[in-house]
Amino acid sequence: MSVYDVNGCSYSYGFIIEEEELPMVNLTGQDVCEGQSNGILSLTQMGPGTYSYSIDAINYQSDPNFNGLPEGSYTIYIENINGCSTTENFALQTIPSPMVVINTDDACIGINNGEAQFASIENGLEYSLDGLLFSATPNIENLDARTYTLYVQGVDGCVHTYPFEIIEAAELDVTFTDPLIDCSMSNVMLEPEVISAAGNATFTWSDGSSDSTLPINTEGIYNVQVEDNCSVSYYEWNIDFIETEIGTFFAPNIFSPNGDGINDEFRPVYKDPTQISKYSLEVFDRWGSLVYHSDDLDQGWDGKYATKAGRAGVFVWMIRAEGDFCNDVEVFELVGDVTIVR
């Protein structure tokens, strides 16, 4: 290079211009968890001097890390203290959320015994309910009834969230009905009806059977235990079948209407008067004359006829009656004799 002064004298100088190396860096990235903006681009300075970095070519920073980035392609601008610059390109990808299946068991009313089980085809997953303490155990117990957020962390470091709900179990509600037994029945079916239950209700009968119903053909006491996942209900039946045995009339063969209060009237009796719907008693003397008639089973003959005391001797009686026995009508026609003694 030549330099001239004011007098026209010239001077020659020599110099060397050296080429400065461009900034050298190593760029790495951490991909983005699905649904989040948590990607990271990190630069490691490989050359001498002081570098500054920008993601938009406008705003520069000395920190070589860019955090909180969404998925996308980026250009990083690197400049040294002398203004020399270069660029690096990097694409951040989305790390998909793992598919997690959540199954739950209801919590009993007022009890923290709900449970959630987790299943996934992904390996190395860990689970948490607070996002802080993670465990590889794929279930969480002792949960009360409410909505939860499950945090799932993969081997890539991503933490994904999944809502689930523990439902309050239904209260065990069983209707026990006493069977209506009439005189025509010799067997019944005991049938508890489960209105609601926590899970599937089970039955344990007094004979050891476990069906939901129990056929009965023998009188006695029977009980059942109905149990669901949370509680137990008991019930007891006392089964008594109605017997409808047809009876007979009993008529004394002698009486003494003397007013002493002992055996003073002739009155046929039946063991269960409520079964008799129609009744007629007629008494005849030895000549066949009617001396007494009554349609009242509770009324007896005092030995009088025509308002006078009957003579001692033998009289013939006839009973005509109808009885209702389990909706069947039984007709009685009975004849016998009775002796009056005085």
Pairing of strands 65-69, 254-255: unpaired
> How many angstroms separate the CA atoms of 210 and 237, rounded?
17
Radius of gyration of the chain (CA): 54
User: Token digits for 178?
Assistant: 């006493």
The CA–CA distances, whole Å, from 243 to 181, 187, 247, 280 equal 11, 13, 12, 26
- The pLDDT value given to residue 186: 83
The b/e string for 84-112 (b: 16+ C-beta within 10 A; e otherwise) is ebbebebebebbebbebebebbbbbeeee
- The pLDDT value given to residue 191: 96
- The pLDDT value given to residue 14: 62
Higher-scoring residue by pLDDT: 297, 246:
297
Judging by beta carbons within 10 Å of its beta carbon (0-12, 13-18, 19+), is residue 16 exposed, middle or buried? exposed
Residue 223: strand pairing partners: 236
> What average pLDDT score do residues 200-226 get?
96
User: Token digits for 184?
Assistant: 């025509």
Judging by beta carbons within 10 Å of its beta carbon (0-12, 13-18, 19+), is residue 321 exposed, middle or buried? buried
> How many angstroms separate the CA atoms of 218 and 223, rounded?
14
Helices first, then strands: H and E counts in the chain:
0, 33
Pairing of strands 328-340, 254-255: parallel
pLDDT confidence band for 19 (50 / 70 / 90): low
Judging by beta carbons within 10 Å of its beta carbon (0-12, 13-18, 19+), is residue 315 exposed, middle or buried? buried
Listed in sequence order, the DSSP H helices in 156-274 are none
pLDDT confidence band for 170 (50 / 70 / 90): very high
The CA–CA distances, whole Å, from 341 to 3, 103, 286 equal 182, 95, 15
* Residue 123, helix vs strand vs coil: coil
* Residue 273, helix vs strand vs coil: helix
> How many angstroms separate the CA atoms of 318 and 80, rounded?
139
The CA–CA distances, whole Å, from 43 to 47, 55, 58, 202, 239 equal 12, 12, 18, 66, 88
Residue 262 φ/ψ, nearest 5 degrees: -120, 115
Rounded mean pLDDT of the chain?
Answer: 91
Single-letter amino acid, residue 177: T
Contacts of residue 308, Cβ cutoff 8 Å, sequence gap at least 6: none
- The pLDDT value given to residue 52: 96
pLDDT confidence band for 217 (50 / 70 / 90): very high
Higher-scoring residue by pLDDT: 325, 80:
80
Residue 291 has pLDDT above 80, yes or no: yes
> How many angstroms separate the CA atoms of 296 and 95, rounded?
101
Contacts of residue 90, Cβ cutoff 8 Å, sequence gap at least 6: 27, 29, 41, 73, 74, 76
Which candidate, 41, 71, 38, places its Cα nearest to that of 53?
41
On whether the pTM is more than 0.85, the answer is no
Q: Are 138 and 127 in contact (CB under 8 A)?
A: yes
135-147 pLDDT, tens digit per residue, is 999 999 999 999 9
Residue 157 has pLDDT above 70, yes or no: yes
